[in-house]
């Protein structure tokens, strides 16, 4: 794993840098393998990034979009990560519908939905149980509590070792989330983090020692590249020694 940390002057600079990095990985993947696979993060931080992606002239038929986690709500619900990314980006570009791979949230039991999506992923990547496909880029955010995707502190989701997708839990609300081992199989993981409220968790995540169950983002140690892209407000007091 190679780890790179960049602190950008402000949020617009952070978004621009993340866009540049994603486009660099996108063109390289398409040149090498004829396709680019990207998993999106949710929350509020990435929305301007998705709006910027909508302005790009790209080979959309060679780009496949996934989500690293999803709130267990319909796509037209205001909390839906899928709904946000479609409105900000995917509805604005000619990407084939079959290239968009949302996490299903229509089953009564989220565990069934997780298994369904797991099968969809295994089918797409042509991988058998026991092995983990490597996405080209997985974009992640980080909560003020140090969670990432829907891997919340001291939850069962942190312990999943064999599945690609599992059920997360935020204050009793079900989520679907990529698992730690699946995320760690990525060629490139990019954390996009903005705002002073992230400083305390970042200090713990970058500390030499801290409890990984309390700060789940520490568990993200991909076999490929790990990028932390921070704005000044988030990263100004971080000791990066």
Part in contact with ligand 6PG (CB under 6 A); list of ranges 8-16, 146-154, 200-208, 225-233 = 146-154
Binds ligand 6PG (CB under 6 A): choice among 37, 80, 105, 148: 148
Nearer to ligand 6PG, 131 or 221 (CB): 221
Nearer to ligand 6PG, 28 or 204 (CB): 204
DSSP character string of 3-58: EEEEEESSHHHHHHHHHHHHHHHHHHHHHHHS-EEEEE--SSTTHHHHHHHTT---
* 69 in contact with ligand 6PG (CB under 6 A): yes
Binds ligand 6PG (CB under 6 A): choice among 81, 169, 179, 184: 81
Token pair 């490597």 is found at: 134
Least CB distance to ligand 6PG at residue 138 (A): 11
Token pair 């089918």 is found at: 123
* 179 in contact with ligand 6PG (CB under 6 A): no
Part in contact with ligand 6PG (CB under 6 A); list of ranges 53-61, 85-93, 148-156, 159-167 = 148-156
In degrees and rounded to multiples of 5, residue 194 shows phi and psi of: -135, 145
Cβ atoms 67, 82 nearer than 8 A: yes
Least CB distance to ligand 6PG at residue 34 (A): 28
Token pair 């952070």 is found at: 14
Token pair 């989330």 is found at: 177
Instruction: Please list, in sequence order, all residues whose beta carbon lies within 8 angstroms of the beta carbon of residue 59, skipping any fewer than 6 positions away.
Output: 30
Count the residues of the shown chain that bind ligand 6PG, applying the rule CB under 6 A. Answer: 15
Least CB distance to ligand 6PG at residue 234 (A): 10
Q: Give counts: helices (H), strands (E), the chain.
A: 7, 10
Q: Residue 84: how many CA atoms within 13 Å on its side-chain side?
A: 20
Q: What residues from 11 to 40 belong to the interface with ligand 6PG (CB under 6 A)? A: none
Nearer to ligand 6PG, 83 or 134 (CB): 83
Part in contact with ligand 6PG (CB under 6 A); list of ranges 2-10, 98-106, 144-152, 157-165 = 144-152
* 80 in contact with ligand 6PG (CB under 6 A): no
Binds ligand 6PG (CB under 6 A): choice among 102, 141, 216, 222: 141
The one-character DSSP state at 154 is T
* 42 in contact with ligand 6PG (CB under 6 A): yes
Cβ atoms 43, 37 nearer than 8 A: no
Cβ atoms 226, 189 nearer than 8 A: yes
Q: Which residues bind ligand 6PG (CB under 6 A)?
A: 41-45, 69, 71, 81, 141-143, 147-150
């Amino acid at each position: 794993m190679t780890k790179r940390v960049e602190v950008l002057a402000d949020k617009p600079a952070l978004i621009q840098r993340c866009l540049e990095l994603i486009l660099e990985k996108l063109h390289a993947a398409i040149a090498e393998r004829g396709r680019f696979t990207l998993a999106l993060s949710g929350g509020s931080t990435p929305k301007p990034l998705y709006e910027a992606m909508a302005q790009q002239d790209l080979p959309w038929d060679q780009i496949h979009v996934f989500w690293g986690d999803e709130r267990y709500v319909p796509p037209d619900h205001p909390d839906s990560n899928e709904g946000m990314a479609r409105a900000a980006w995917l509805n604005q570009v000619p990407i084939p519908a079959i290239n968009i791979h949302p996490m299903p949230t229509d089953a009564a039991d989220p565990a069934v939905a997780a298994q369904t999506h797991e099968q969809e992923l295994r089918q797409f990547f042509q991988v058998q149980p026991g092995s983990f496909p490597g996405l080209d880029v997985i974009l992640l955010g980080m909560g003020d509590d140090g969670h990432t995707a829907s891997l919340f502190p001291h939850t069962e989701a942190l312990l999943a070792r064999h599945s690609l997708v599992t059920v997360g839990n935020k204050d009793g609300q079900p989520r679907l989330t990529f698992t730690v081992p699946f995320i760690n199989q990525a060629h490139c993981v990019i954390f996009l983090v903005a705002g002073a409220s992230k400083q305390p968790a970042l200090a713990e995540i970058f500390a030499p020692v801290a409890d990984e169950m309390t700060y789940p983002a520490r568990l993200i140690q991909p076999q490929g590249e790990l990028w932390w892209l921070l704005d000044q407000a988030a990263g100004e007091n971080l000791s990066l020694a």
